[in-house]
Amino acid sequence: MARKRYSVEQIVAKLREAEKLEAQGFTVAQRCKRLGISDQTFFRWRIKYGALKEDEAQRLKALEQENSRLKKIVAEQALDISMLKDLQRSKW
C-alpha cells in the first residue's frame, strides 16, 4: 500500500473531523476507517498534534523549518572552527 504524506494542517483537520465523528458516537476503528488512516497513526497524531489549532500548526511548521536552517548553520560553523584549529596545530 502506498504511503501518504499529510501536512501538519491536514493532520489537524483530520483530528478535528475525528472529534466530530466521536461526538456522533463512532468508535476509534470506525473513525480511522472513515479518515483513511490506521489506528496507530491516529493515536500518534493525537499525541503529537491533538492540542494544536490550524494556525498553531502553520506556526509549528515555520518554526521547524527555521530550526533546521539554524542547525545547518551551526554545523557549518563547527566545521569551519574545526578546520581552523587543525590549521593552527599544523603550524603552517
pLDDT digit string (tens) for 63-84? 989 999 999 999 999 999 999 9
92 residue type, one letter? W
Q: What does the alpha-carbon distance between residue 43 and residue 87 come to, in Å, rounded to a whole number?
A: 52
Q: Judge whether 28 lies within some domain.
A: yes
Q: Across residues 23-41, what is the average pLDDT?
A: 93
Instruction: Determine the structural domain holding residue 34 and report its residue range.
Output: 8-90
The average confidence (pLDDT) of the chain is: 88
Residue tagged 587543525 (cell numbers)? 86
Q: Judge whether 78 lies within some domain.
A: yes
Q: Judge whether 3 lies within some domain.
A: no
**Count: domains in the chain:** 1
Residue (of 46, 38, 44, 40) closest to 1 by Cα position: 38
Specify the higher pLDDT residue, 54 or 19: 19
> pLDDT at position 20, please?
92
- Give 68: exposed, middle or buried? Use CB within 10 Å, 0-12, 13-18, 19+: exposed
Residue 74 is placed in which grid cell? 551551526
Q: Judge whether 30 lies within some domain.
A: yes
Q: Judge whether 1 lies within some domain.
A: no
> What is this structure's pTM?
0.60
Q: Across residues 10-34, what is the average pLDDT?
A: 92
Is the CA virtual torsion 28, 48, 50, 67 positive or negative? Answer: negative
